């Protein structure tokens, strides 16, 4: 992403100074592994080198067994890489900073507002949303606009199920995701950005079953740096559309503002569907560096819609995808 380094970022802190992640008390009763692994991941991030041994491979395998028809059969990115190489600018613009800094994010209590063109505005506790529908484990390709990619097993349910609960009015054409802004919890919030982070989708895109309302990954809770306690994952779009730590769903009849599109509209379009034929003005999008189990990322061709064309291309029938990038 556009990088605006200010000198104010926290200097590198020692891992021993990081407090363990907050324990998620009430995920889903039938997902006991979530509870048993919570402490393990918290400890794992303090002493990151210990994560693989702390994680019970059988538990992780069980999580994978519950996968859905949307799962891709590609080598998964190890959890340690997915939880330590992040974009979450509220906690620093360097990829390694969110894992070190996001322990200041307080994920309980956490309320989510539903507002705008809906039958009735709602304020919901995140645990109510978590329990609303059974979760699926879906292994998705995760393609960042910066041309790196991962393969991550996410836990959640289709965003469409939550949108149905929100009861948008027929006049609602878009949904905007507004994420947490709290300077107390984000003491090194970078300047030069119009916070809070926000993203949005056309409502028909949001209703596509691939769009995942996400609460966990690898069969365990989402670490703060990956967007706890609630985020969206939109695997056919560049990663920046997948807003983290959401506090509000706003239904509108006009295309909502989105942070990156506002900062650099020529670089970050509203749609931002993964498209190997539309380059970013500063780099090619034809290939990506896949981060998986190898010592180094390896280069692979990028697929239209990140390989999900069968499920989503119809949403854009008749649109010029070079103009509407």
Write down the least CB distance from residue 86 to ligand MTE, Å: 3
Q: Which is nearer to ligand MTE, 244 or 248 (CB)?
A: 244
Query: Counting contacts by CB under 6 A, is residue 256 touching ligand MTE?
Result: no
Write down the least CB distance from residue 249 to ligand MTE, Å: 14
Query: Counting contacts by CB under 6 A, is residue 179 touching ligand MTE?
Result: yes
Per CB under 6 A, which region of 12-20, 87-95, 121-129, 163-171 contacts ligand MTE? 87-95
Structure tokens that stand for 183 in this block: 């300077």
Residue 162: name the closest of 114, 198, 200 by CA. Answer: 114
Query: Counting contacts by CB under 6 A, is residue 87 touching ligand MTE?
Result: yes
Where helices occur in the chain by DSSP H, the ranges are 32-46, 51-54, 57-65, 79-82, 97-101, 126-132, 159-166, 203-206, 259-263, 309-312
**Residues 243, 232 contacting (CB under 8 angstroms):** yes
Residue 214: name the closest of 174, 248, 242 by CA. Answer: 242
Residue 108: exposed, middle, or buried by beta-carbon count in 10 A (0-12, 13-18, 19+)? middle
Write down the least CB distance from residue 43 to ligand MTE, Å: 20
**Residues 176, 166 contacting (CB under 8 angstroms):** no
Interface pick for ligand MTE out of 103, 237, 244, 248 (rule CB under 6 A): 244
Interface pick for ligand MTE out of 226, 275, 302, 306 (rule CB under 6 A): 226
Site string for ligand MTE, 130-149 (x = CB under 6 A): ------------x-x-----
Number of residues that bind ligand MTE (CB under 6 A): 18
Stated as kind and residue range, the H or E segment containing 232 is strand 231-233
Write down the least CB distance from residue 29 to ligand MTE, Å: 26
Query: Counting contacts by CB under 6 A, is residue 88 touching ligand MTE?
Result: yes
Q: What is the CA radius of gyration of the chain?
A: 19
Q: Residue 140: beta bridge partners?
A: 152
Q: Which is nearer to ligand MTE, 118 or 150 (CB)?
A: 150
Minimal CB distance to ligand MTE: which residue? 239
Structure tokens that stand for 123 in this block: 């304020």
Query: Counting contacts by CB under 6 A, is residue 215 touching ligand MTE?
Result: no
Quick one: DSSP state of residue 77?
P
3-class DSSP assignment, residue 94: coil
Write down the least CB distance from residue 269 to ligand MTE, Å: 14
Interface pick for ligand MTE out of 110, 157, 197, 325 (rule CB under 6 A): 197
Burial 26-64 (b: 16+ CB within 10 A, else e): ebbeebebbbebbebbbebbbeeeebeeebeeebbeebe
Query: Counting contacts by CB under 6 A, is residue 239 touching ligand MTE?
Result: yes
Window 57 to 86, contacts with ligand MTE (CB under 6 A): 86
Q: Which is nearer to ligand MTE, 158 or 245 (CB)?
A: 245
Query: Counting contacts by CB under 6 A, is residue 38 touching ligand MTE?
Result: no
Interface pick for ligand MTE out of 27, 89, 251, 325 (rule CB under 6 A): 89
Other CB atoms within a 10 A radius of the CB of residue 184 amount to 7
Q: Which is nearer to ligand MTE, 101 or 245 (CB)?
A: 245
Half-sphere exposure of 217 (CA within 13 A, CB side): 31
Instruction: List residues binding ligand MTE (CB under 6 A).
Output: 1, 86-90, 142, 144, 179, 197, 226-227, 239-240, 242-245
């Amino acid at each position: 992403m556009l990088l605006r380094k200010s000198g104010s970022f926290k200097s590198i802190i020692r891992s021993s100074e990081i407090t363990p992640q907050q324990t998620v008390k009430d995920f889903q009763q039938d997902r006991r592994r979530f509870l048993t692994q919570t402490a393990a991941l918290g400890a794992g991030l303090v002493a990151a080198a210990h994560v693989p041994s702390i994680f019970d491979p059988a538990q992780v395998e069980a999580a994978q067994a519950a996968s859905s028809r949307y799962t891709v059969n590609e080598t998964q990115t190890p959890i340690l890489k997915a939880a330590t190489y992040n974009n979450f600018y509220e906690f620093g613009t360097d990829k390694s900073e969110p894992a070190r800094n996001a322990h200041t994010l307080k994920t309980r209590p956490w309320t989510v507002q539903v507002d705008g063109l809906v039958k009735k505005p709602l304020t919901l506790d995140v645990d109510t949303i978590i329990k609303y529908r059974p979760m699926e484990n879906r292994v998705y390709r995760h393609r960042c606009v910066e041309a790196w990619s991962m393969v991550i097993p996410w836990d959640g349910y289709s965003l469409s199920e939550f949108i149905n609960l929100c009861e948008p009015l027929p006049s609602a054409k878009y949904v905007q995701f507004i994420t947490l802004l709290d300077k107390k919890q984000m003491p090194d919030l970078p300047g030069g950005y119009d916070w809070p982070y926000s993203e949005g989708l056309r409502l028909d895109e949001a209703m596509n079953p691939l769009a995942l309302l996400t609460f966990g990954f690898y069969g365990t809770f989402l670490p703060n740096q990956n967007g706890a306690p609630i985020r969206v994952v939109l695997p056919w779009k560049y990663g920046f559309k997948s807003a983290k730590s959401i506090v509000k769903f706003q239904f509108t009849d006009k295309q909502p503002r989105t942070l990156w599109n506002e900062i650099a509209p020529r670089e970050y379009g509203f749609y931002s569907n993964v498209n190997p034929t539309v380059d970013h003005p500063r780099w090619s999008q034809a290939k990506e560096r896949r981060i998986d189990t190898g010592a180094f990322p390896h280069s692979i061709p990028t697929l239209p819609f990140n390989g999900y064309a069968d499920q989503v291309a119809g949403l854009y029938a008749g649109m010029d995808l070079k103009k509407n990038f």
